[in-house]
Amino acid sequence: MSARPRVVRVDLGERSYPIHLGTGDLDGVGDAVARHTGANQVGLVTVPGVGRRYGARVVRSLRAAGLKVTRVQVPDSDATKNLGQVRKLYDRFLTAGLDRKSALVALGGGMVGDLTGFTAATYLRGIPFVQIPTTVLAMVDASIGGKTGVNLRQGKNLVGAFHQPSLVWIDTATLRSLSPRDRAAGMAEVVKAGAIWDARYFARLERDCDRVMELDPRALIPVLERACRIKAEVVRRDEREESGVRALLNFGHTLGHAIEKQMGYRRIRHGEAVAIGMVHAARRSEALGLAPAGTAGPIEDLLARLGLPTEIPRYDRRAHLAAMKVDKKKEGRKIHYVVLRRIGEAQTVELSPAEILPARAPA
Ligand SMILES: NC(=O)c1ccc[n+]([C@@H]2O[C@H](COP(=O)([O-])OP(=O)(O)OC[C@H]3O[C@@H](n4cnc5c(N)ncnc54)[C@H](O)[C@@H]3O)[C@@H](O)[C@H]2O)c1
Ligand SMILES: [Zn+2]
């Protein structure tokens, strides 16, 4: 069952670009890459598991569009989303003769997108790049908005650049090979988009959640499209996280990051930690009198239906507080913490870590 492709535009003046959403149309990406980057040569970056499944089709499509292709595989781990890997990519692309008329293409999840995007932002002072996201999280979140970066030993995403892609090409058929756990984790960011921005969309997710998880395109495509539109709108209003609007995307992330750090990034998915963080933030919003009673319940229920965790594991308050204090988003002693006013509307408030995570967990 296929649905006709949709296009979402990210409006950023001369840095504007389209997000193409289709099903089973990976073969069309080559022409679009040529058209939107103006390149005659590309470096394609992927990981083995994704490259094995989809690499040949993408390479064929790029070559059919007249592009010279250098394909590079990087290890499938956030542990090598680092400057050492970036340097290896520079080496490969210099050897292959990629110049300022070349572009990079990221085929994979958010890890590949961040690594490739950062390499594109810095190689020869910046060349265009294209995102072909293959996880839910990358489709609705990581591939949109131009945040690129790599990890340092001291923490995640501490080095990076704003570099908008020239095109985002989504083929939802690639999600069929994604593990149910990764699918669900990505859906946490979809739920986030509804919770902070659009109550009607949240209700639609409640209605269509099972069909979305089964990847029925008639339910999936509109849901992904709206999530992309919300991200695009937030980025349009606040491209560089200056006015505070983009900070709303951090809903669930303050505690989420602390949990990821405590548990180790290998043991818990980002989206799982964010799910726990969102439920906590929604409950805090109620407890602080910012949101009406009954705001957190539907969020918790929806996340649970998606198979996501909603309670803090092995509750170690001191460790979580310490982790929140070193989160790079802090300013002074207070943290810009995202709370809900209701489902569909969020704001930031200044809270200390102890206020975010009170000694007695709120009822
Ligand atoms: N730039 C941003 O705005 C932004 C936003 C959120 C997250 N991120 C970054 O994104 C990364 C997380 O992204 P992610 O959740 O996509 O993780 P990921 O890229 O690590 O992918 C998760 C797993 O799924 C596999 N995979 C990907 N696509 C597949 C497919 N179609 N079929 C089968 N397997 C597939 C990958 O090989 C990997 O093992 C982190 O590095 C995070 O920092 C960036
Ligand atoms: Zn996130």
Q: Which of 71, 183, 226, 257 is catalytic?
A: 257
Please determine, for residue 361, whether its predicted confidence score (pLDDT) is greater than 80: no
Ordered domains of the chain (ranges, CATH): 6-177 (3.40.50.1970), 180-356 (1.20.1090.10)
In this prediction, residues 162-190 reach a mean pLDDT of: 98
- Shortest-distance atom of ligand 1 to CA 149: 1
Please determine, for residue 48, whether its predicted confidence score (pLDDT) is greater than 70: yes
Please determine, for residue 145, whether its predicted confidence score (pLDDT) is greater than 70: yes
In this prediction, residues 99-113 reach a mean pLDDT of: 98
pTM value? Answer: 0.96
The verdict on whether 246 is a catalytic residue reads yes
In the prediction, which pLDDT does 313 show? 84
Give per-residue pLDDT as tens, 306-333: 999 999 987 678 888 888 876 655 555 7
Instruction: Say how many Å lie between the CA of residue 265 and the centre of ligand 2.
Output: 13
SS (H, E, C) 298-338: HHHHHHHHCCCCCCCCCCCHHHHHHHHHHCCCEECCEEEEE
Ligand 1 pocket, CB under 6 A: 47, 49-50, 76, 78, 81, 108-112, 114, 134-135, 137-138, 141-142, 145, 147, 156-157, 174-175, 177-178, 182, 270
Instruction: Say how many Å lie between the CA of residue 106 and the centre of ligand 1.
Output: 11
In the prediction, which pLDDT does 264 show? 80
Considering the chain, what percentage of its residues have pLDDT values greater than 70?
96
The verdict on whether 189 is a catalytic residue reads yes
The verdict on whether 260 is a catalytic residue reads no
